[in-house]
Amino acid sequence: MNSSNRCCALILALLLAALTGCAAYQKCGTGGCPGDAEITAAVQAAYAQHAELQPPNTINVQTINHVVYLYGLVATDLQRQTAESIAMQVPNVAKVINSIGTSGNGR
């Protein structure tokens, strides 16, 4: 495959990826997909039942297209793993992206 064909193939692949992403986003809209707000609320309610995840830990939850995004800061890696595990148990969660950091203060 020559350089021109590779470039065209790359552009086509990027365009298809962008269109696929736009189609999913348009399906859900800027407010998210139906059920996303309920999933976020359910994850937050589940966290309220676990004292080890309460302040001074901060865990923020956002749900987009049934994928739960976690970010914030906890003291230990065990708390980080616990937060992810709890989120995965909430009904209708397709996937959890865990970007929670650890401060290391809970060792």
- List Cβ neighbours of 60 (8 Å cut-off, separation of 6 or more): 70, 71, 72
Given this model, what pLDDT does residue 97 score? 98
The verdict on 76 and 49 lying in the same domain is: yes
- Domain containing 78 equals 32-107
pTM above 0.85, yes or no: no
The verdict on 10 and 52 lying in the same domain is: no
Given this model, what pLDDT does residue 105 score? 73
Give me the percent of the chain exceeding a pLDDT of 70.
Answer: 71
Q: Which of 2-16, 36-50, 51-65 has the lowest mean pLDDT?
A: 2-16
Distances (CA, A) of 62 to 33, 42, 84, 89, 101: 12, 11, 13, 16, 16
Residue 75, domain CATH: 3.30.1340.30
The verdict on 3 and 46 lying in the same domain is: no
Q: Read off the pLDDT of residues 31-50 as tens digits, 9 standing for 90 and up.
A: 678 899 999 999 999 999 99
**pLDDT for 22 beyond 70:** no
The verdict on 80 and 59 lying in the same domain is: yes
